[in-house]
């Protein structure tokens, strides 16, 4: 493996699958932490909804990030990736965005020179995945970046 710094994007949502993906992303970034080329891990959480309410919203719902218990939720969701990065000395940046998960992840990857996207497998069955689709499937099929799906 070449010791060249990489920008690694890991999608997290607080599920056990995303925690495994977070640990794997940090492990990928850690492989060359001793070289002069440092890897950086970006942990992204996509929340549903739109941060720009429309004029038809008479009583717009407050954003999740504006609720009083947000900091506690944020700490719980990012706990695994922050702990793994801190223990390994891997640089980490945590990002929260709103919108469609697959689209926002691919857009972030484009805008931030990401080398590999690490994402947990959804674990849904074949029939459900066929009917509804999954974020990991959409990203694997449509992303222009390398995609590493952790099971």
Query: What one-character-per-residue DSSP string does 19-34 give?
Result: HHHHHHHHHHHHTTTT
Residue 69's pLDDT is 86
Residue 132's pLDDT is 46
What domains does the chain contain, in order, with CATH numbers?
Answer: 7-53+60-150 (3.40.50.620)
Q: For the chain, give the mean pLDDT.
A: 83
For residue 1, is pLDDT > 90? no
Residue 38's pLDDT is 79
Report how far residue 52's alpha carbon sits from residue 77's, in angstroms, rounded to the nearest whole number.
Answer: 24
Report the sign of the C-alpha dihedral through residues 66, 68, 72, 76, in that order: negative
Mean pLDDT of 4-30: 92
Mean pLDDT of 128-139: 69
Best-predicted range by mean pLDDT among 44-53, 96-105, 116-125?
96-105
Contact 119, 104 (CB under 8 A): no
Strand, helix or coil for residue 149: strand
Give me 125's structure tokens.
């069955």
Report the sign of the C-alpha dihedral through residues 82, 84, 89, 92, in that order: negative
* DSSP type of residue 96: E
For residue 76, is pLDDT > 50? yes
Of all residues in the chain, the percent with pLDDT exceeding 70 is 74
The pair phi, psi for residue 145, each rounded to 5°, is -105, 160
């Amino acid at each position: 493996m070449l010791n060249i710094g990489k920008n690694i994007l890991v999608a997290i949502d607080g599920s056990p699958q995303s925690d495994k993906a977070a640990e794997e992303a940090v492990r990928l970034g850690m492989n060359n932490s001793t070289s002069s080329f440092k890897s950086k891990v970006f942990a992204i959480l996509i929340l549903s909804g739109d941060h720009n309410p429309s004029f038809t919203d008479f009583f717009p719902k407050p954003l999740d990030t504006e609720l009083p218990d947000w900091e506690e939720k944020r700490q719980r969701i990012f706990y695994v990736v922050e702990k793994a990065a801190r223990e390994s000395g891997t640089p980490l940046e945590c990002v929260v965005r709103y919108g469609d998960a697959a689209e926002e992840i691919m857009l972030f990857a484009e805008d931030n020179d990401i080398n590999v996207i690490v994402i947990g497998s959804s674990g849904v069955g074949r029939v459900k995945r066929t009917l509804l689709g999954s974020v990991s499937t959409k990203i694997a099929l449509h992303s222009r970046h390398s995609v590493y799906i952790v099971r």
